[in-house]
Amino acid sequence: MTTSQEELLPGTRRALLHRIAVAQAEGRAPSLVAAVVRDGKTVWTGARTSVEGHAPDENVQYRIGSITKTFTAVLVLRLRDEGALDLGDPLEKHVPGTGVGQATVAELLAHTGGLAAETPGPWWERSPGSLRPELDDVLGERPLLSPPGRRFHYSNPGYALLGALIEKLRGASWEEVLRRDVLEPLGLHRTSVRPQMPHAGGWAVHPWADVMLPEPIEDLGRMAPAGQLWSTTGDLATFAAFLVNGDERVLSTESLREMRTPAAPHEAGDVASGYAYCLGMEIRRRNGRSLVGHTGSLPGFLACLMISVEDDVAAVALANSTSGPLLFPVAADLVRIVSEAEPRIPAPWKPATDVDPSLLELTGQWYWGTHVFALRLMADGLVSLGPLSGSGRRSRFRPNGDGTWTGVEGYYAGELLKAVRRPDGSVSHLDLGSFVFTRQPYDEGAPVPGGVDPEGWRGIG
């Protein structure tokens, strides 16, 4: 991915630099690097460091912790798209004998499998993976804390199981599969399981004194799919663009949209704070903006990748300290600065290239009872159905090629929309998940459930 610093105005670039400078200084991080992506291209990179005369650039590796989980989730969705598994499959179907096999693939991806948050034994992030050579060592004697599917409970061992699932179905190590199926096709040559020079060293900064302590760098073994990777702002900027736009060599835009869709029931506190977990990605709210991505941490390192899909702006922030700068607010502010200072210019409107006349006749007003809806034909071939005004159930639908459409978002995601025709070929009504939409409110000429009063509409008196 090319970097074009000139694409942002000088005032915007200074505001971005100021934001990371404040974060590095107030967070007392040995170094902090960041990048901003707009319209699929890196438009800004920046760095602040405690070492005079030398600042890390977009090619210096940092450990990215749990952002690794998003890479692992991409591999699982690839397997699903190839037909090797179904997200509803219990783990036991593919990786038998774990003792937690009733948890489904989707539940493991969404942290609703009921598994413990961490492994038993020594702190796994600061101890060698050789202490946990088998899945039994990762899971321990009490791997399940609640029944699968009951609640959201973030689980690192759950992603170790997904790594084992990938290895079983691919017949190769998680590292090899990741390199072959994701890193090489996307050109992420500076993303690796083990550090490659140049890379930052991990540091712990004393909470009450301006002194530092080096953190150990361990190979996490079985836990690698949960948090092992090293990467750069340059590579993660490319990865962020992929997470929005897709790449048919790796994963489709549709499957990535599925990854970005909330999948887990959350505690009341999570809902109130605007947090939700998807399939290997998080959704967070800040300053009225919805951001999707992932945070990460390992001793000595902090990481954050966040995307505003609506603005088509993403930000990456990395630091080499165990604690200090809170990188989610930093990344969120980088997105906000660009989105507000230089709002996205929409693509020119263009008419559709080919329109099916039978589809065109379906557009316009429809009534669900007395609620007024509008069906619109989009230039991209989708149709949208939603309230003519105000809020309500609104969805887009993709064509199935047989005169029906399937919802891709909102209340009607996955639901089937079809036009029901009379014997003479004219349209009687729309059927959507058993709801009848008619051209007139409670149209007596359509099969409205419960029937229509034969006396018709009337006033009082």
Counted residue by residue, the chain has a size of 461
Asked whether residue 148 falls in the same domain as residue 255, the answer is yes
The verdict on residue 230 lying in a domain is yes
Residue 270 confidence (pLDDT) above 90: no
Asked whether residue 166 falls in the same domain as residue 238, the answer is yes
Asked whether residue 314 falls in the same domain as residue 402, the answer is no
The verdict on residue 348 lying in a domain is no
Looking at residue 267, its pLDDT comes to: 66
**Cβ atoms of residues 438 and 448 within 8 Å:** yes
The verdict on residue 404 lying in a domain is yes
- Please, which pLDDT band fits residue 4 given cuts at 50, 70 and 90? very low
- Which residue segment(s) compose the domain that 373 sits in? 357-437
Q: Which residue has the higher pLDDT, 296 or 4?
A: 296
Asked whether residue 130 falls in the same domain as residue 34, the answer is yes
The verdict on residue 29 lying in a domain is yes
CATH number of the domain within which 200 lies: 3.40.710.10
Asked whether residue 369 falls in the same domain as residue 300, the answer is no
- Please, which pLDDT band fits residue 275 given cuts at 50, 70 and 90? confident
- Tens digits of residue pLDDT in 305-350: 999 999 999 999 999 999 989 999 999 999 999 999 999 888 888 8
Report the distance separating Cα 241 and Cα 227, nearest Å: 21
Q: For the chain, report the end-to-end CA distance as a whole number of angstroms.
A: 73
Last residue of a domain, one of 341, 365, 399: 341
Asked whether residue 269 falls in the same domain as residue 407, the answer is no
Asked whether residue 12 falls in the same domain as residue 156, the answer is yes
Query: Which parts of 56-147 fold into alpha helices (H)?
Result: 68-81, 105-109, 135-139
The verdict on residue 55 lying in a domain is yes
Tokens of 16: 């971005």
Asked whether residue 377 falls in the same domain as residue 331, the answer is no
Residue 134 confidence (pLDDT) above 60: yes
The verdict on residue 370 lying in a domain is yes
Report the distance separating Cα 12 and Cα 372, nearest Å: 44
Minimal CA–CA distance to 235: which of 57, 32, 412, 49? 57
> What value does the mean pLDDT of the chain take?
92
Asked whether residue 287 falls in the same domain as residue 364, the answer is no
Last residue of a domain, one of 289, 307, 341: 341
| Count of the separate structural domains present in the chain | 2
The verdict on residue 364 lying in a domain is yes
Alpha carbon of residue 357 to chain centroid? 37
Report the distance separating Cα 203 and Cα 214, nearest Å: 5
Average the pLDDT over 112-120 and give the result. 94
Report the distance separating Cα 400 and Cα 402, nearest Å: 6
Asked whether residue 91 falls in the same domain as residue 229, the answer is yes
Phi then psi dihedrals of residue 29, to 5 deg? -95, 135
Last residue of a domain, one of 276, 311, 341: 341
**Cβ atoms of residues 408 and 397 within 8 Å:** yes
Average the pLDDT over 358-372 and give the result. 91
Asked whether residue 337 falls in the same domain as residue 392, the answer is no
Tokens of 249: 């060599």
CB atoms within 10 A of CB 349: 6
The verdict on residue 351 lying in a domain is no
* H/E run at residue 365: strand 364-368
Asked whether residue 215 falls in the same domain as residue 326, the answer is yes
